[in-house]
Amino acid sequence: MTDERACTLAVMGMTADERLGADIKRAEQALMAAKSAALKDAGLTVAQYAALFALADNPGISGAALARTCLVTPQAMAAVLKHLEERGLVVRSAHQWHQKMLETRLTDTGRETLRAADEQAVRIERRLADEFTPEERDTLRALLARCGTAIRRD
């Protein structure tokens, strides 16, 4: 090892080869780029698709709960929902008992748009899943969960 490299390691603490963050980020970026391209014909962004997908399983969910489900900020979800509502893909109405809370539901057009978009998105998910055995998928999920736990650890 050269003196310069040893000095760099002393300052940085880890070599590039030891760092996993860039590998995880590359995989995430590849997935998002592929989904973005696949959803283009449906006229949806990945965030909009994620919201529609979550709404299909959670009709009447609040914007804040939807944001948590989609792993975005409430402000980002508010912008997504505004756009989806303007396109007639979702409808928002006051909750029966909590008038300040807006429930969000898919419209018929929203369900059809989601169906068409999901046909494309599922192709990517299937390619990814097919790359691994069921046991490897379980292992990958467990390893990624450990990554998340380690990142949050203080």
Each residue of 35-59: pLDDT tens digit? 999 999 999 999 999 999 999 999 9
Tell me, yes or no, whether 7 lies in a domain: no
Tell me, yes or no, whether 8 lies in a domain: no
Average pLDDT over residues 125-148: 97
Spatial contact of 52 and 108, defined as CB atoms under 8 Å apart = no
Domain count, the chain: 1
State pLDDT tens for residues 53-100.
999 999 999 999 999 999 999 999 999 999 999 999 999 987 676 667
Tell me, yes or no, whether 48 lies in a domain: yes
pTM for the model:
0.83
Distance CA 70, CA 53 (A): 9
What pLDDT does residue 100 have? Answer: 73
Distance CA 64, CA 41 (A): 28
pLDDT at 8 over 60: no
CATH code for the domain in which residue 67 is found: 1.10.10.10
Average pLDDT over residues 7-30: 82
Distance CA 92, CA 76 (A): 16
Distance CA 107, CA 59 (A): 10
Place of tokens 């999901």: 118
What pLDDT does residue 29 have? Answer: 97
Q: What's the whole-number average pLDDT of the chain?
A: 91
Range of the domain at 62: 20-152
Quickly count: other Cβ atoms within 10 Å of residue 63's Cβ. 20
Tell me, yes or no, whether 3 lies in a domain: no
What pLDDT does residue 1 have? Answer: 60
What pLDDT does residue 154 have? Answer: 80
Tell me, yes or no, whether 13 lies in a domain: no
For 131-149, what is the HEC assignment?
A: CCCHHHHHHHHHHHHHHHH
Tell me, yes or no, whether 133 lies in a domain: yes
User: For residue 78, what are the contacts with CB-CB under 8 A and spacing of at least 6?
Assistant: 63
